[in-house]
Structure 1
Amino acid sequence: MTTVSQHTAKVALVHYWLVNRNGGGERVIEALCELFPQADIFTHCVDPTKLSHTLEQHTIKTTFINRMPFSKRFYKHYLPLMPLALEQVDLSEYDLVISSESGPAKGIIAPATTKHICYCHTPMRYLWDHKDAYLAEANPLIRLFMIPIFHYLRLWDVLSAKRADAIVANSSAVAARIKRWWGCEAEVIPPPVDTEYFKTFINEEPGDYYLFAGRLVRYKRADLAIKACEQLGKRLVVVGQGEEMKALKSMAGPKVEFRGEVEREELARLYAGCQALLFPGEEDFGIVPIETMAAGRPVIAYARGGALDYITDKNGLFFNQDTPESLAKAILRFEADLTFDPITISAQASRFGRDHFKGAFMAAISRVSKG
């Protein structure tokens, strides 16, 4: 194959699972569906109630994982079977395969004449960066089984990376992990963000609160935002749901307000009305900060991960240690010394818009198809 046409090529999109709505991986798949309206989607398991309108328009094919008991809830428990499930997928009729990887997706076996591009959100955290934390949280009996299984999965993860003709990372931090763990070079193309929507909410007069928005899971470190604001007596609005909700509420004082999940318009207004977004976790990229910036507000971010690709002195600032004290000092520095222009911040966010992603990805496909 020398060229790939958006209109005539037979394209397969492989995504690890479709059981959540509005995650970063789902947004990438939606943008790829817009590029290739006739593409088929392959995934391990799918929850039809969580599909966006865009995804509903496509043929979705599942591996045998979808037929396993309680797979829509406990899909990660079937991780050891996923390499086998992927290798049974028949892709013989496709010209181009695009795998979306942060769970097992890239391990499909494409024909020699089919080009395969892997868009990597991150190498699987539970096998590499966070393996010790996952093992520590498991009960001792399960841990005995996890140690050899993780060893096998790491070997498969490295070997299956060689099956792609090209790997694209969503940030410089992820490209560095790909180089370290898989031994592969990766081009960086940031994921698509709907910056045009959020910039319509720019508010020149922010409110009196700081904002945390995202899933309430441990690695996103909402606890740091809560503790820092508690130390300073600052108002904090927390948007999101997750397994950490109960623990976070137990440490929060009267100035911390939990909103749970909110509609898109309300979220946009919260972005535009905050003093700044607090972004205390180490993320692979981080779509929420870009949405906040598109709405004209700055970001106070932990100086690790994807945030290093887009936070500058024109749109926010960093704190360097993952402690409440370090974040609190950054908040005080923000209030004492810094001023930000909403229009400038929003303009900087525009380079992460959906059209930029689509153009960059089609250019990557063109290079691979000619290689």
Structure 2
Amino acid sequence: MQSRTDVGPVANVADCTMLLRPMEGRTMRVAIVHYWLVSMRGGEKVIEALCDMYPDADIFTLVYDESRISEKIRKHKISTSFLQRIPGAVRGYQSLLPLMPFALESFDLTDYDLIISSESGPAKGIIPPPGATHVCYCHSPMRYLWDHYHFYRSHAGLPSRLMLPMLAPLLRSWDVNTSMRVDRFVANSHHVGDRISKYYRRHATVLYPPVNVDDFTPTALVEDFYLCAGQLVPYKRVDLAVKAFSRMDRKLVVIGEGSQMEELKRIAGPSVTFLGRTPFSVLKEKLARCRALIFPGEEDFGIVPVEAMASGRPVIAYGSGGALETIVPGVTGLFFDEQSVDALIDAVLDFEASERRFHPATLHAHSEQFSLQTFKTGMRAIINEELMIRKADKLRSYPAIQRALEAQLPMFAADSPTTTLQ
């Protein structure tokens, strides 16, 4: 192990271990960096949990729509990038992707001790000060640059289809380089952890995102309809559900809004109902009363299936991505193996043939492992461990203390492997 120049004596090992404690009892300046705050989805629920953990934290984001963000987040000091001043940026932020590296690096985080970035769109690319600890909670490496690049390009408008092949290599290079600015990666699923390893060559601790499972309650009043809820965009594959239920002439309720809304309405039969964006109370009621949730897309984690299970309702899902980590086949739901209308229809028929095997109490109990409190406890443990490791690194320059540390705290004897919290 490389030694460093001594800068002064430390009294004893007791003093050393005192220094290694996480920064409790004194003010630690915390910055939370989120890609964009323009709606309340899964990523923003993580930000709410972090706000609970660090009530004095400042928030940095590329663009911000105050009218669509929760009061809990709005209470914090929120700083936006220069992109906020571009007309139409709040609605058309995705078209500003080439400018986002410059915008992120313009944030001055010099005075912060702990930086927590929330990455799906770019967020980890901030420039952390040398003495700060940077923990990245990664919902996904940017899918439109990596595993979903060809899918996004094929569904983009003509200007994006022409520009992406020229811009994507530069953005990928920046994305990989900025992964070196992160001290600790936390992935929201093993599915995402594998991609972090593939694209960044970094290990990640797995910690599932928070779901407010206590907000959902099973009911005996189940009605004769299926539910599909989420953003209406191409990769969610809501089109499969609309086509399948139109063909079967079974009732499907679709909750959500997005770029595919009009196209989906055009192909839908009379058995499909679109409710658009609804209040939480409506979503909660529909989740509790549907026969099953239909989940046809491949997601990094997938919060809505957990909400359905918390409501006592099973999930019929495409068997890929995060769904494989949250759904137990035959106990909390069923999988179909390919994203096709026929495969989904077969899965619905299989479900109806064995519907009685699914028990609401079992489903709700299964969902509790993804609770908000589980996330907070796990995230705090990860952050405190990383703070301790960083403090230990600063003390390795003292050979006597290093030997004492290795005797008392074996975790500091060598680089510790990444842990996995589930």
Partner deviation per Cα, 1:168-192 (whole Å, 9 max, x = no partner): 1111111111111111111111111
Using the TM superposition, give the Cα deviation of residue 123 of structure 1 relative to its aligned residue in structure 2, in angstroms: 0.7
Within the candidate set 105, 108, 121, 1:87 is matched to: 105
Contact 1:4–1:96 at 8 Å: present in 2 too? Answer: no
Contact 1:6–1:36 at 8 Å: present in 2 too? Answer: no
Within the candidate set 355, 365, 370, 2:383 is matched to: 365
| Aligned residue runs from structure 1 range 178-189, under 5 A | 178-189=196-207
SS of aligned partner of 1:106: coil
Within the candidate set 56, 66, 79, 1:48 is matched to: 66
Aligned to 2:4: none
**175-184 or 355-364, which moves further after superposition?**
175-184
Aligned to 2:321: 305
Partner deviation per Cα, 1:23-46 (whole Å, 9 max, x = no partner): 111110011001000000001111
Aligned to 1:18: 37
Aligned length: 368
Give the Cα–Cα distance (whole angstroms) in 1 for the partners of residues 68 and 205 of structure 2: 30
Aligned to 2:287: 271
Aligned to 2:144: 126
1:162 maps onto 2:162 in alignment: no
Please, which runs of 5 or more residues in structure 2 have no aligned partner? Answer: 1-18, 390-422
1:174 maps onto 2:192 in alignment: yes
Q: Report the residue type matching 1:324 in the other structure.
A: V
Contact 2:246–2:270 at 8 Å: present in 1 too? Answer: no
Within the candidate set 187, 197, 209, 1:191 is matched to: 209
Using the TM superposition, give the Cα deviation of residue 140 of structure 1 relative to its aligned residue in structure 2, in angstroms: 5.2
Within the candidate set 318, 334, 341, 2:335 is matched to: 318
Using the TM superposition, give the Cα deviation of residue 50 of structure 1 relative to its aligned residue in structure 2, in angstroms: 1.4
1:135 maps onto 2:153 in alignment: yes
Aligned to 1:214: 230
SS of aligned partner of 2:186: strand
Contact 1:10–1:39 at 8 Å: present in 2 too? Answer: yes
TM-score when normalising by structure 2: 0.85
**Aligned residues: CA RMSD:** 1.5
Partner deviation per Cα, 1:211-234 (whole Å, 9 max, x = no partner): 101111111111111122223221
Within the candidate set 354, 362, 377, 1:344 is matched to: 362
SS of aligned partner of 1:300: strand
Structure 2 vs 1, CA of residues 163 and 297 (structure 1 numbering), >3 Å: closer, same or farther? same
Aligned to 1:259: 275
Aligned to 1:226: 242
Q: Report the residue type matching 1:259 in the other structure.
A: L
Using the TM superposition, give the Cα deviation of residue 139 of structure 1 relative to its aligned residue in structure 2, in angstroms: 5.2
Structure 2 vs 1, CA of residues 6 and 231 (structure 1 numbering), >3 Å: closer, same or farther? farther
Give the Cα–Cα distance (whole angstroms) in 2 for the partners of residues 165 and 258 of structure 1: 44
**75-84 or 94-103, which moves further after superposition?**
75-84
Contact 1:123–1:177 at 8 Å: present in 2 too? Answer: yes
Structure 2 vs 1, CA of residues 137 and 315 (structure 1 numbering), >3 Å: closer, same or farther? closer
Give the Cα–Cα distance (whole angstroms) in 1 for the partners of residues 25 and 281 of structure 2: 32
Give the Cα–Cα distance (whole angstroms) in 2 for the partners of residues 366 and 258 of structure 1: 45
Q: Percent of aligned pairs with the same residue?
A: 48
Structure 2 vs 1, CA of residues 163 and 6 (structure 1 numbering), >3 Å: closer, same or farther? farther
Structure 2 vs 1, CA of residues 153 and 97 (structure 1 numbering), >3 Å: closer, same or farther? same
Aligned to 2:23: 4
Using the TM superposition, give the Cα deviation of residue 197 of structure 1 relative to its aligned residue in structure 2, in angstroms: 0.8
Give the Cα–Cα distance (whole angstroms) in 2 for the partners of residues 282 and 4 of structure 1: 39
Structure 2 vs 1, CA of residues 4 and 225 (structure 1 numbering), >3 Å: closer, same or farther? farther
Please, which runs of 5 or more residues in structure 1 have no aligned partner? Answer: none
Partner deviation per Cα, 1:41-65 (whole Å, 9 max, x = no partner): 0011111111211011100011111
Which of these two proteins has the greater Rg computed from alpha carbons?
Answer: 2
SS of aligned partner of 1:162: helix
1:149 maps onto 2:167 in alignment: yes
Structure 2 vs 1, CA of residues 6 and 32 (structure 1 numbering), >3 Å: closer, same or farther? farther
Using the TM superposition, give the Cα deviation of residue 317 of structure 1 relative to its aligned residue in structure 2, in angstroms: 1.0
Structure 2 vs 1, CA of residues 208 and 137 (structure 1 numbering), >3 Å: closer, same or farther? closer
Give the Cα–Cα distance (whole angstroms) in 1 for the partners of residues 36 and 159 of structure 2: 27
Give the Cα–Cα distance (whole angstroms) in 2 for the partners of residues 79 and 140 of structure 1: 16
Aligned to 2:308: 292
Aligned to 2:8: none
Aligned to 2:392: none
Partner deviation per Cα, 1:85-144 (whole Å, 9 max, x = no partner): 212211111110000001110011111211000000111111011211233344555544
Q: Report the residue type matching 2:231 in the other structure.
A: R
Q: Report the residue type matching 1:158 in the other structure.
A: V
Contact 1:239–1:262 at 8 Å: present in 2 too? Answer: yes
Give the Cα–Cα distance (whole angstroms) in 2 for the partners of residues 270 and 145 of structure 1: 42
1:328 maps onto 2:345 in alignment: yes
Q: Report the residue type matching 1:331 in the other structure.
A: V
Contact 2:155–2:234 at 8 Å: present in 1 too? Answer: no
Give the Cα–Cα distance (whole angstroms) in 1 for the partners of residues 385 and 215 of structure 2: 31
1:103 maps onto 2:121 in alignment: yes
Q: Report the residue type matching 1:304 in the other structure.
A: S
Give the Cα–Cα distance (whole angstroms) in 1 for the partners of residues 221 and 163 of structure 2: 55
